[in-house]
A and B are shown apart, each in its own frame.
Chain A
Amino acid sequence: MPLAHYLYDNALVLGPTGRLDHDNCETFREELAPHLARSAKDGTSIVLDLSGLEYVSSAGLRCFMLAAKQAKAQNSRIVIAAMQPVVAEIFQIARFNLVFEAFPKVRDALAALSPAAAAAFDRG
Chain B
Amino acid sequence: MRVRFWGTRGSIPVALTSADIRDKVAEALFRAEGRRFESVGEAHDFAAKHLDFALTHTFGGHSPCVEIETGIQEYLVCDMGSGARPFGAHVLARQSGKPATVNVFMSHVHWDHIMGFPFFGPAYVPGTHIRIHGCHEVIEQAFRLQQAPPCFPVEFSQLTADIEFVKLTPGRAHEISGVQVTPTPQMHSGESYGYRFAAGGKVVVYTTDSEHKLENRAQTERFVRFFHGADLVVFDAMYSLADAISVKADWGHSSNIIGVELCQMARVKHLVLFHHEPAYDDAAIEGVLRETRRFEELTRGTQALRISAAYDGLEIDV
Contact = CB atoms under 8 A, between A and B. Distances in A.
A75 to B, nearest CB: 18
B261 A61 contact: no
A89 interface: yes
A21 to B, nearest CB: 9
Interface residues of B, number: 21
Contacts of B257: 58, 61, 93-94
Interface in A19-37: 22
Contact of A61 (B241, B243, B294): B241
A95 B294 contact: no
Interface string B4-33: 000000000000000000000000000000
Interface residues of A, number: 19
A96 interface: yes
A94 B243 CA distance: 9
A95 B243 contact: yes
Interface in B290-318: 291-292, 294-295, 298-299
A90 B246 contact: no
A62 interface: yes
Contact of B241 (A22, A69, A89, A94): A94
Nearest to B288: A93
Nearest to A62: B214
Nearest to B261: A58
A111 to B, nearest CB: 26
A34 B44 CA distance: 62
Interface of A: 22, 55, 57-59, 61-62, 65, 69, 86, 89-90, 92-96, 98-99
Q: Which 5 A-B pairs have the closest CB atoms?
A: A95-B240, A94-B241, A95-B242, A93-B291, A62-B214
